Amino acid sequence: MAFHSLTEFIEQLERENELIRISESVSPILEISEITDRVSKSPDGGKALLFENVEGSQMPVLINAFGSTRRMSLALGVEDIEEIPKEIDRYLKIAPPATLLDKVKLLPLLLNAANFPPKMFRGGQAPCQEIVHLGDDVDLGKIPILQCWPNDAGRFITLPIVVNRSADDKLRNVGLYRMQIYDKNTTGMHWHIHKDGAHFFHEFRRQNKRMEVAVAIGADPVVCYSASAPLPYGIDEFLLAGFIRKSAVPLVKCKTVDLEIPATAEIVLEGYIDPSEMRLEGPFGDHTGYYSQDGDYPVFHVTAITHRKNPVYLTTIVGKPPQEDYYLGKATERIFLPLMRTQLPEIVDMDMPLEGVFHNSVILSIDKRYPMQARRMMSALWGLGQMSFVKTILVVDADVDVHDTKAVLRVLLNNIDFKRDLFFSEGILDVLNHGSDQALYGSKLGIDATTKIEGEPGFGKDAHSRQPSKNLPNPKAVVDRFKEVKDCRILDSDSRHSVMFVAFDKTRAHQPGKFISAFFNNPGFAKISILIVLEAHVDLRDYSAIMWKFFNNLDPKRDFHFEDGHLGIDVTRKLPEEGYEQDWPDEIAMSRTIKDQVDKKWKRMFGEK
């Protein structure tokens, strides 16, 4: 079932018992974020939330709308997201018709494809333009835009569908870029250096031309998803939405700029960017779970606000996983897998763990047929679109379920040889990566956990016959021996390689590296194969938090310490004295005051403590 507006989607969520209406008065400054953060971290992502009484605005706020596997499937009009990649596979594998009968069989598929491209809205006034504000009537303050986290630079639009065109007017880009509110009619436009929007902007900048921009907020759910999708350069996101919906996205011409936007959107902002004007934007509590740093970005001047008569403001928050964005990312993982296979057909399956926050970790299974094929796959992925930002890639055999964490861990800890199977590289990294010494690039790690075949080092050695580690040291002995160690825990796994996690009180440069060396030179701790050193405040009982820290803070080449057959990994905060040239960001955390305010309202909102 395809939804043609956000309103239709809300009605379906209510019928499916996937929506909670909240009539309690709430503030868009931090309170909605704290409430949503708690709900999104409940089992299976909790429910979508519709706040009907938001301080300072007449508009209700919808959030966590896509924050579960079930709601993501509903949003895309399928029972199971896997239906979409199967459909894509069907189109990708169309064989050229050889006979007249083949052409006749192909006709229904081609007729269906005719519905994919966007079309202009027909039928009178478009819903998104029922109310029009121009000139002095433009006021972003009437929209209940959130401040998500205490150290954010202000309020941010977090789920905008940003539409612009290339300087030659030949290509349209539809992207999802956060927008900081500066005043009643200006915002920031935070498109990352590697994004298509930034590429188009630099075209306008070179030509010293004003760039027109339109922003749709609260379009139908398929269009919202498609704006976030990592499509190849030049491919229209509205075309992807039409394919998923099986019906064209209706567009309408803007009132003050020469652009088209989704006709059924709730709210539309129209305006322009002067390429000569930049302004400080950020910081912002980002999807990595850390605050992204401030920087100079283009300024969006709003020339018109149009909206429905009774609009709903659709928004989201990002922060420490899991959050709503995890489910959007998981949809992308599944939908784009067939497209990856067109270039790398040996790929069997892929998983992007939530702790890897999309760009930090990928697990890949392959149909292995020749020596060093896993390394080829790593290099290929690091040259493939947004996969080029991935920091760690783990490759396993075709029979390993990449979505089964325990199965992957079992293979990893039983099969890996530190000298043979770890592959270090260097390259570009996501702008939000803070782990490397420099911004935008650093080292990467590939791990080949596939079974070795003839022609590869290790062939003929049965890794599964190796005995698991026994008689492991008592963690208390480590705490007693090293005063910097605040807590210590051994991973419960019956595997050849044993893993110990340490919460470490780092007070000076290079301290963890010296600790790792001293640890492995102590005969009493020789049974530990892998030692992972984390910051002192990390809860070692929470393995998800451990892995989130690991992937975020890691620069593999810098942080891996090999000690006579053992491996120590330092994922503590890095200091300038250690060669770190970025500003290490703060973790996102809500203030105690807001937590207390929400505690007082919680039972009235949800009928529970």
Helix ranges (H only) for 323-466 are: 324-335, 337-343, 373-381, 405-415, 418-421
191 and 69, same structural domain? yes
440 and 517, same structural domain? no
- Last-in-domain residue among 423, 455, 487: 455
> Hey, how many other C-beta atoms are within 10 angstroms of the C-beta on 513?
17
Site of tokens 């052409």 = 103
- Residue 73: which residues within 8 A CB-CB, separation 6 or more? 79, 80, 81
pLDDT of residue 469: 65
Asked if the structure places residue 249 within a domain, the reply is yes
422 and 492, same structural domain? no
- Concerning whether 44 is annotated as a catalytic residue, the answer is no
Asked if the structure places residue 493 within a domain, the reply is yes
498 and 434, same structural domain? no
Asked if the structure places residue 584 within a domain, the reply is no
d(CA 5, CA 15) in angstroms, rounded, equals: 16
Q: One of 196, 236, 286, 555 is an active-site residue; which one?
A: 286
Q: What range does the domain containing 310 cover?
A: 6-314
Asked if the structure places residue 604 within a domain, the reply is no
24 and 171, same structural domain? yes
Asked if the structure places residue 333 within a domain, the reply is no
512 and 394, same structural domain? no
Helix ranges (H only) for 167-217 are: 196-207
105 and 243, same structural domain? yes
Quick check: 447 and 395 in contact, CB under 8 A? yes
pLDDT of residue 93: 63
DSSP for residue 246: T
CATH number for the domain harbouring residue 541: 3.40.1670.10
DSSP for residue 290: B
151 and 292, same structural domain? yes
d(CA 588, CA 329) in angstroms, rounded, equals: 20
254 and 120, same structural domain? yes
257 and 114, same structural domain? yes
Quick check: 568 and 520 in contact, CB under 8 A? yes
d(CA 300, CA 272) in angstroms, rounded, equals: 6
Site of tokens 């896509």 = 66
Asked if the structure places residue 600 within a domain, the reply is no
Positions in the chain whose pLDDT score sits under 70: 91-98, 100-114, 194, 462-469, 608-609
- Residue 512: which residues within 8 A CB-CB, separation 6 or more? 504, 506, 533, 570, 572
d(CA 377, CA 383) in angstroms, rounded, equals: 10
Strand pairing class (260-262; 250-253): antiparallel
Residue 538 token pair: 């990390």
Asked if the structure places residue 523 within a domain, the reply is yes
Residue 186 token pair: 């200006």
Q: Could you tell me the pTM of the whole model?
A: 0.92
358 and 219, same structural domain? no
Asked if the structure places residue 609 within a domain, the reply is no
446 and 309, same structural domain? no
Total count of domains within the chain? 3
pLDDT of residue 562: 95
Cα distances (Å, whole numbers) of residue 301 to 129, 140, 214, 281, 295? 19, 11, 10, 15, 18
DSSP for residue 128: G
pLDDT of residue 466: 56
